[in-house]
Amino acid sequence: MVTVKKQDKCLFKVRLVHFMDMNKEIIVLCSFVYVLGVLNASAQDTTAFNKQVDICIEKSLEDNMKQVDFKKQKPSELEKRNFTDSKFYQMTFVGAPLILTGMIMKGEDTHFRSLRNDYMKSFHRPFDNYTQFLPGAVMLGLKAAGVDSRCSWSRMLVSDAFSVAIMGTVVNTMKNTTHVTRPDGSNDHSFPSGHTATAFMTATMLTKEYGHISPWIGIGAYTIASSTGLMRMVNNKHWLSDVLTGAGIGILSTEFGYYIADLLFKDKGVRHLSQDESFNKYDKPTFMGLYLGVNIPLSHYDISENQNFRTSSGSSAGVEGAMFLNPYLGIGGRFTVSNTHIITSEKNGTVSRQSAQDYKTSNGEVAECETFDAVMAMAGPYFSYPITSRWNIGSKLLTGYIAYPKLSLSGGTVVPKNCDVCFGSGISFSYKAKENYGIRFFLDYNLQPSQSKKSGEWMNTLAVGTTFGVNL
């Protein structure tokens, strides 16, 4: 049979409308002839007949190509979508957004550090010194045990060597040029986090070599890597921006390391090629992820007869997840810890400056070094609507409990701990970065009672942020 070039087939599909408009008679004729051929195939030799069919199809294609000036045509919808299948996109669409997010969150570093100081100030554990290498150790262990991986020993080691070289060069160069002081003040080599970069580099290595066996291998690897980054923060060694940027560098380093090795080795030593991922628009959007947000208070209220306070922006961290029964409805919840810095004022005058960490506003108000803390657990229905195969829009209606620890303010005001009912809602946009990994961009609204039982007022807050997680 006559073979039609792959490029011609693609162009034929892209311009199918034009083809149908200009070649209706040819299409009808070819279809009729083909049906006759099928009916007679069992009774006679169809070699000559098939040749005629192929000639007919080829002639129609050639005629159509002549009639349409493809150079003047705009790219089709199909051609535009093909960018997501490009090698560059596949290498960068996870790591690059993490680095960008790290840059954006740099202005909120102090808020997330104060969150650590409020809840885990005494945490000092060296686990992160070892967990950064754990995914890599698992990869080598599986390889030594004879478990079939993506690459041969030689190709895998070369790929990993390039990855380590790229990561080490980028991280050390940035550390020695940015001179960002660590949260504990030990040195000025905070940005980016080398431990986190190493952890995500080894997690990506493990996923590339053994992710074809089960998606849980990658999920476990990135969970360990994320835990390493969180421990760097609670150990007071890194800011949030350091960790996010380090994670992105680690992923990109492995992607480029394997890309260089692929250019050198070609098809040699490859045992399992990466499979094309499929995205079904109507899959259940079940997820579980790490919740990171910036708090924006919308109101203030009285604490006592002579004193009120309002809050500046703060931070929230926790976990959020939901199990969907169908593409549209699910049940889930979130658990978060949050804090916001307090700005106090007195009705009979301004409050004096209490410490070096306090600052006065233009109205003479004082932002306290103390923070307004809260622990919140909420659950309820989740809603989702698929926009495309990768994007979903969602919302939720939550209710639960909020717990306030004891609050002490300057001037001797002490507000005892309290626990009460709270409510929440929000809107989100979810993106499936990979078949089993995604990111959610959310704007959450919370209606929460005052910490003071005597107040009787309610606080209105917004939380803006992202949820990095897995699609289950």
Q: Is the pLDDT of residue 17 over 60?
A: no
pLDDT of residue 437: 87
Nearest to 99 by CA among 250, 248, 251: 248
**DSSP 8-state symbol, 151:** B
pLDDT at 125 over 80: yes
CA distance 440 to 427: 10
Q: Quick one: CA torsion of 218, 221, 223, 229, rounded to 10 degrees?
A: -130
Cis peptide before 183 (omega within 30 of 0): no
Token pair 């199918």: residue: 16
Concatenating the DSSP letter of every residue in 189-210 gives --SS-HHHHHHHHHHHHHHHHH
Q: What is the mean pLDDT of residues 34-63?
A: 47
> What digits encode the pLDDT tens for the residues 164-218?
999 999 999 999 999 999 999 999 999 999 999 999 999 999 999 999 899 899 9
Tokens encoding 104: 């954006």
Distance in angstroms (rounded) separating the CA atoms of residues 236 and 184 = 6
State the pLDDT at residue 370.
64
Distances (CA, A) of 97 to 101, 102, 249, 349: 6, 8, 10, 47
Is the preceding omega at residue 192 within 30 degrees of 0, hence cis? yes
Q: What pLDDT, in 10s, does the model give residues 73-103?
A: 444 444 445 566 677 888 888 899 899 999 9
Q: Is 363 helix (H, G, I), strand (E, B) or coil?
A: coil
Q: How confident is the model at residue 59 (pLDDT cuts 50, 70, 90)?
A: low
pLDDT of residue 65: 47
In CATH, the number for domain 83-265 is 1.20.144
Name which of 101, 357, 117, 134 is nearest 235 in CA terms.
117
What whole-number distance in Å separates Cα of residue 29 and Cα of residue 57? 10
Integer-rounded Cα radius of gyration of the chain: 30
User: Yes or no: is domain 287-471 CATH 1.10.8.350?
Assistant: no
What tens digit of pLDDT does each residue of 420-438 get?
A: 999 999 999 999 988 888 8
Better pLDDT: 456 or 315:
315
For the question of whether the overall pTM of this predicted structure is more than 0.85, the answer is: no
Q: Which amino acid is at 446?
A: N
Nearest to 299 by CA among 421, 418, 462: 462
Q: For residue range 392-420, what is the model confidence (pLDDT) as tens digits?
A: 999 999 999 999 888 776 666 677 888 99
Question: What is the per-residue pLDDT for 381?
Answer: 98
Give the mean model confidence (pLDDT) for residues 258-275: 84
Least-confidence region, from 12-21, 227-236, 349-358: 349-358
Mean pLDDT of the chain: 79
Statement: residue 369 has pLDDT above 50: yes
Q: Give the domain ranges of the chain.
A: 6-73, 83-265, 287-471
Structure tokens at 444: 């959450």
Residues 324, 441: Cα–Cα separation, whole Å: 18
Instruction: Return d(Cα 183, Cα 236) in angstroms, integer.
Output: 6
pLDDT at position 267: 85
Per-residue pLDDT reduced to its tens digit, 315-336: 999 999 999 999 999 999 999 9
Q: How confident is the model at residue 361 (pLDDT cuts 50, 70, 90)?
A: very low
